[in-house]
């Protein structure tokens, strides 16, 4: 059975496109495209239609990741039904998504990405937008760890 995963952050230009790029590569490398698919979205609409942040692309492309989607805003009318798992980067993103689930019907689909990580000391992927290069590297490290766990938990 195909599982669909949506990565969610605030702007959909830094963290959630990184999660999407990392998981897409793992899906491809592990021949799991019949089992797993993913996209990303932001809870805010400021950057709709934009490519990922140039720093996200620069750091990710150095590790061989490809960024091929444009920013879109989380759409409660479609996304709660369309996705099996909605993984949020931080607790603020999680609260923003849960607030849109007016009846609580989709509560169990909404999680923090880092819940899937191996030995995570922090359950949040920190917002790198106002930070330096190191913060963008950390986002990729955290996404790689969590996506490995996510693949193990979903692809069986």
Residues with catalytic function = 9, 15, 127
Task: Write down the residue that tokens 């990741």 correspond to.
Answer: 65
| 19 part of the interface to ligand 4NP, by CB under 6 A | no
Q: Cα–chain-centroid distance for residue 103?
A: 24
Beta carbon nearer to ligand 4NP, 32 or 48: 48
Choose one: 5-13, 79-87, 94-102, 105-113; the region binding ligand 4NP (CB under 6 A): 5-13
**Which residue, 1, 36, 41, 35, is CA-closest to 19?**
41
Binding mask 113-152 for ligand 4NP (x = CB under 6 A): --------------x-x-----------------------
CB of 19 to ligand 4NP, least distance (A): 10
6, 11, 19, 106: which one binds ligand 4NP (CB under 6 A): 11
Residue 139: φ, ψ to 5°: -55, -45
| 13 part of the interface to ligand 4NP, by CB under 6 A | yes
Dihedral of the alpha carbons of 75, 118, 51, 43, in degrees to the nearest 10: 30
- CB count, 10 Å around CB of 79? 21
């Amino acid at each position: 059975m195909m599982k669909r995963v949506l990565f969610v952050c605030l702007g959909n230009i830094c963290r959630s496109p990184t999660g999407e790029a990392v998981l897409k590569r793992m899906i491809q490398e592990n021949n799991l495209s019949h089992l797993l698919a993913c996209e990303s979205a932001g809870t805010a609409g400021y950057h709709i239609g934009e490519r990922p942040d140039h720093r996200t692309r620069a750091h990710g492309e150095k590790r061989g990741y490809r960024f091929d989607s444009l920013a879109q805003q989380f759409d409660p009318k479609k996304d709660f039904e369309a996705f099996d798992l909605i993984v949020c980067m931080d607790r603020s993103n999680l609260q923003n998504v849960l607030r849109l689930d007016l009846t609580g019907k989709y509560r169990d689909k909404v999680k923090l990405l880092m819940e899937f990580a191996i030995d995570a000391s922090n359950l949040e992927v920190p917002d790198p937008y106002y930070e330096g290069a190191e913060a963008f590297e950390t986002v990729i490290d955290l996404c790689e760890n969590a996506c490995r766990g996510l693949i193990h938990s979903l692809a069986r």
